[in-house]
Amino acid sequence: MNEYQEFLETKRNDFRPDGLLESSIPGSLFGFQRDVVEWALRRGRASIFADCGMGKTPMQLAWAANIPGRVLILAPLAVSAQTVREGAKFGIPVVYARYPEAAPAAQITITNYEMFQHFDPGEYTAVVLDESSILKSYTGKFRNQLISAWASTRYKLACTATPAPNDFMELGNHAEFCGSMSRAEMLAMYFVHDGGETQKWRIKGHAQSPFWEWVCSWAVNISKPSDLGYPNDGFDLPPLEITPHSVGGDVVPEGMLFAMEARTLEERRNARRATIAERVSKTTELAQHNRPMVVWCNLNAESAAATKAIDGAVEIKGSDSNEHKERAMLGFADGSIRVLVTKPSIAGFGLNWQHCADVAFLGISDSYEQFYQAVRRCWRFGQKNTVTVHVVTAETEGAVVRNIERKEHDAAVMRESMVANMGDITRKTIKATSQVKTEYRATMKMDLPEWLPRPRMSK
């Protein structure tokens, strides 16, 4: 081993398991799900990055049910009630409570992220972050409070869909939550900073393999069962058809003499406001059927106009009470509401709407992640039909559409790279049953004091 390799070995960061060696996993879980749960229990503190529809909820519930003590699950609004239903399906009782006194003796309690400060971490043996990527939608202060509050908790689990592969900050957030390494330490050890933008980080050339090995010491990434050597039977996604619709070509946006492509953020906002009526009219036309449909909006004016125009539509807006939001989301899920009108920022995470195969975007923002997550509420494993996504924009919004298409392509390339880098390591890590041990190598001679008895040497 040369001197440089020895230097790298001294910098190696091993995240050692501190969990449970024995577990009882429900037989109703798929084989790959059982493997993931057993691995996460052995680790004690772990992250599960599993694509939409891979069963994160039953996996986290099976994990929580094995913890020797009380468990608190933090989740987005409406996902909580959905989790309670899933728990009943798998025979794992889960109690929903917005305040701790509402569930004083529950072994597994679930609450919303907004309410976590009412719960004392010292009362719980374990914590689960459901849809943990939602943390980056909150302020940095909230993120720091959450990680700090549960820093001393022995058992921790974070569950989210496959993270944005080029968003290393998200990986850093999860590593810090698990207690493996702080985000700042991760960047210093494995990355170099490109350019003046703070989010532009690139993995060091020699650190590619060590970085992904380190990630796999505390996280599992799975996009389909075959990633762990299982058949993909029943986990094949149906076709996805994205159909663009451009309207309002004769509408001159406010502040312009004639229609032209909107490029700046303010120009795009003006173009959207000026074409609300045309886009709502087109979306209403697309909703003239008896199938379930979700309509995603960005502006309050869009949401209100679409709800008024589409027969039987129910709106969820940010100012609504939590009770109305939860009731409407669950009503859409159980079929009592046919058309739901809302924003990706409100209902774009965690919800299972496989019963719906018709989606419309009444305009889109520059956030590819919001677009992707909103589509995946319906286009996920378990969906039986072709999912049709209508994207209704003003003709002057061509730039934002091309931007989303570019980000979609970049994300696909990066996701493939991530899976390729983590695939073999993940399979080996999940299947491994032996404990990680560190070999001791004496480097200094020890002189024993005269009064200490000498050990007898065997003949």
Task: Find out whether 83 and 75 touch, Cβ atoms under 8 Å.
Answer: yes
How many Å apart are CA 42 and CA 24, to the nearest integer?
Answer: 12
How many Å apart are CA 53 and CA 34, to the nearest integer?
Answer: 15
| pLDDT for the residue 183 | 85
> How many angstroms from the chain centroid is the CA of residue 317?
22
Task: Find out whether 162 and 417 touch, Cβ atoms under 8 Å.
Answer: no
**Closest to 164 measured CA to CA, from 444, 412, 448, 403:** 412
| pLDDT for the residue 221 | 84
| pLDDT for the residue 263 | 56
How many Å apart are CA 64 and CA 127, to the nearest integer?
Answer: 8
Q: How many CB atoms lie within 10 A of CB 458?
A: 4
How far CA 289 is from CA of 285, 312, 333, in Å, comes to 9, 12, 18
**Closest to 344 measured CA to CA, from 383, 389, 385, 312:** 389
- Tell me which residue has tokens 């886009």: 279
* Maximum Cα–Cα distance across the chain: 101
What kind and span of H or E run contains 32? helix 31-43
53 Rama class: left (phi>0) / alpha (psi -120 to 50) / beta: left
Pairing of strands 240-247, 387-394: parallel
How many Å apart are CA 259 and CA 250, to the nearest integer?
Answer: 7
How many Å apart are CA 228 and CA 426, to the nearest integer?
Answer: 7
In sign, the C-alpha dihedral spanning 204, 205, 208, 209 is negative
Indicate the length of the chain as a whole number: 459
How far CA 199 is from CA of 249, 289, 309, 385, 409, in Å, comes to 36, 44, 41, 38, 19
**Helix 31-43 vs helix 398-431: crossing angle, to nearest 10:** 80
- Tell me which residue has tokens 């590619």: 208
- Exposed, middle or buried, 362 (CB in 10 Å: 0-12/13-18/19+)? buried
pLDDT digits (tens, 9 = 90+) for 126-162: 999 998 887 676 667 888 899 999 999 999 999 988 6
Domains identified in the chain and CATH numbers: 9-234 (3.40.50.10810), 240-400 (3.40.50.300)
Name the CA dihedral angle for 41, 43, 49, 51, rounded to a multiple of 10 degrees.
-30
Task: Provide the residue-wise pLDDT of the chain in tens; the chain has 459 residues.
Answer: 555 555 445 445 555 667 888 889 988 999 999 999 999 999 999 999 888 889 999 999 999 999 999 999 999 887 888 899 999 999 999 999 999 999 988 999 999 998 999 999 999 999 999 988 876 766 678 888 999 999 999 999 999 886 655 567 888 889 999 998 888 899 889 988 766 555 667 888 888 888 888 888 898 888 889 888 899 988 888 999 999 898 875 555 555 544 555 556 566 677 788 889 999 999 999 999 999 999 999 899 999 999 999 999 999 999 999 889 989 998 999 999 999 999 998 988 888 899 999 999 997 777 777 888 899 999 988 899 999 999 998 877 666 667 777 777 766 666 666 666 667 777 777 776 433 333 445 555 656 566 656 555 544
- 3 state SS of 41: helix
In sequence order, the 6+-apart residues with CB closer than 8 A to the CB of 128 are: 60, 63, 64, 71, 72, 73, 74, 156, 157, 158, 159
| pLDDT for the residue 433 | 44
In sign, the C-alpha dihedral spanning 280, 281, 284, 285 is negative
Pairing of strands 313-315, 108-112: unpaired
Task: Find out whether 307 and 313 touch, Cβ atoms under 8 Å.
Answer: yes
pLDDT digits (tens, 9 = 90+) for 317-373: 999 998 899 899 989 999 999 999 999 989 888 888 999 999 999 977 777 778 888
